[in-house]
Structure 1
């Protein structure tokens, strides 16, 4: 397998935003492309969050896998994040094929492009279904129905781990690491278990705990921007949702996934499927053993979500 980083755009200060590109040699046929959007609530994360087992699975089935980073709140709004992700799609189908052919001798078939993502990245993948000609989308435990003020994303939560975290009011020095001068952050790590979280991670948990996540992402209150469910049409590509039964992250739950399944089906989307992962919560697929040493129910659900993409190109 070959893996490289390639810049696909710059931030307002001229700093590059990178996409991770993975593929395998050994075939002369043009490869389909899988765009993958990482999770992190649009506040943390990077392409390094996407499990290698999932990348391997698609590469082994002939895909070129493209995982773009995107700018993170609060330096940008959700509208700007979604714009980055649309630009990443346009780059992947418009510019990347020429680069791969000239630099690596690899041919890409831009007419066979699919998308998937995790958590807020799953929401972005669903957004792509509303505005780009992707062949299929799989959304792993996405945030849904942000425009509905009655959902959990709009409310404080006492659910672990959020309710267990102390409130966090960053000092000026800490805030400077969250919003550094001269660069819009597009790559930050998740908090690692057993370590002291960085200021950005503490700040993110504070916003989720106190029901401030959506106002922080979209200060103008235009939450429809974050809600692909407001843009469903019969022309949407086939959609699959993979949802943990016990997910309690604000904005993501089995109830919301079931509601999304019904909404897309009622709107006339020709293929819709919901895969429920019993006994599992948010990010059930991210531990590195899932898909390697652990090939049980969690990996089976992931495999079904990835096969959905394979079967539609």
Structure 2
């Protein structure tokens, strides 16, 4: 499998294998770590971490499929970014991907800080360090779904601490509101042979895939193959059946579907959360975010939300003109979410003092960063 082409960022990524797994391409699952420059950090303080989970409908995508502008936005504020990959369906169940997401998050908290410190050049007395107590989680599409499910498995006995905040871009939260198609169609899709739908590259010579980059040029054969598979699933209205098969009419929600619907088991201890979605999204419809927002507000969990007007699925991942800094979707639906999670790194409703001071420094040096206090009620749209 060809290595993914790195997206251009102001800081190169270092790849760490966070878990070894047999029969997986490249020997296991990995994360890509982007560190800010020392001059971007708050002097004398370890860097907070934003943990990213990529999208790709659970069957494709890669840790490299993250927008460089968003990474650079965090780096400019002295925040490291860890982009976590996970095993991909349909060779493994989505539960396996969820376990990977949790293990990657645990690795960031428990092992990555010491690995970063050990990587300092010989003779260096001090360098950039990571703060495992100041972590936020950011997810996109399928990655947002997995991230929310994963966060529900934190904060308890024998579980890692919960992140300080969560940012979800158009993630699934309640599977009964998804489309599943007819049970007989799903059975037919499940039995289709790879050569009959043109995704022979899907199995990578029998190994499970964890990296099928979407934002990659030229497009690799495995991505074309998986898109073919997804296209057939979507044509049969059975995409979400990758998580739970369709049920006969009038059947109540089964345990498996409920298990992957955080709407059912989220509680008042869930971290402050920001939800962002496009009002023209026909893949993961706005209702998925709306019902979760309403549930969080009912529980008393701090929740911000924003709508990208006129945006379809993927506006926070793809390089649309409207998604670039200063453009409409960035200003109304991407930036508010980024600011929301950053404001939680010091446990304050407004911008943290350290972040504001750093922003003022950046503004005085190049005039490219505007400083403003962001309140608790960060809501855009109707």
Correspondence 1:224 to 2:258: yes
Correspondence 1:242 to 2:312: no
Deviation at 1:38, TM superposition (A): 0.2
* Structure 2 match to 1:164: none
* Structure 2 match to 1:117: 139
* Structure 1 match to 2:229: 203
* Structure 2 match to 1:266: 298
* Structure 1 match to 2:212: 188
Please list the CA deviations of residues 187-211 of structure 1 after superposition, one character each: whole Å capped at 9, or x if unmatched.
Answer: 1133889979722111012112213
TM-score, normalised to structure 2's length? 0.71
TM-score, normalised to structure 1's length? 0.86
Deviation at 1:231, TM superposition (A): 1.7
CA RMSD, aligned part only?
2.6
Deviation at 1:256, TM superposition (A): 2.6
For the pair shown, which has the larger CA radius of gyration, 1 or 2?
A: 2
8 Å CA contact 1:73–1:217 kept in 2: the answer is: no
Deviation at 1:212, TM superposition (A): 2.3
* Structure 1 match to 2:169: 140
Correspondence 1:212 to 2:222: no
* Structure 2 match to 1:12: 22
Could you say what secondary structure the match of 1:280 adopts? coil
Could you say what secondary structure the match of 1:223 adopts? helix
Correspondence 1:305 to 2:337: yes
Alignment of 1:91-102 (within 5 A): 91-102=107-118
Please list the CA deviations of residues 74-93 of structure 1 after superposition, one character each: whole Å capped at 9, or x if unmatched.
Answer: 11101111000000001000
Correspondence 1:282 to 2:313: yes
Alignment of 1:4-43 (within 5 A): 4-13=14-23, 15-26=27-38, 27=41, 28-43=44-59
Structure 1 CA distance, aligned partners of 2:119 and 2:227?
Answer: 38
Please list the CA deviations of residues 222-247 of structure 1 after superposition, one character each: whole Å capped at 9, or x if unmatched.
Answer: 12232111221000000110010111
* Structure 1 match to 2:356: none
8 Å CA contact 2:63–2:83 kept in 1: the answer is: yes
Higher relative contact order (CA 8 A, sep 6+): 1
Could you say what secondary structure the match of 2:135 adopts? strand
Count of aligned pairs: 296
Alignment of 1:81-96 (within 5 A): 81-96=97-112
Structure 2 CA distance, aligned partners of 1:109 and 1:202?
Answer: 42
Per mean C-alpha deviation after superposition, the further-off stretch among 176-185 and 3-12 is 176-185
1:256 to 262, 285, 288: 288
Structure 1 CA distance, aligned partners of 2:303 and 2:198?
Answer: 44
Please list the CA deviations of residues 128-166 of structure 1 after superposition, one character each: whole Å capped at 9, or x if unmatched.
Answer: 3312211000100112311x1xx233248xxxxxxxxxx
Could you say what secondary structure the match of 1:33 adopts? strand
Alignment of 1:132-171 (within 5 A): 132=154, 133-146=162-175, 148=176, 151-155=177-181, 170-171=194-195
Structure 2 CA distance, aligned partners of 1:111 and 1:291?
Answer: 34
Correspondence 1:44 to 2:60: yes
Which consecutive residues of structure 2, in runs of 5 or more, have no partner in the other structure?
Answer: 1-10, 121-126, 155-161, 183-191, 247-253, 346-382
8 Å CA contact 2:199–2:228 kept in 1: the answer is: no
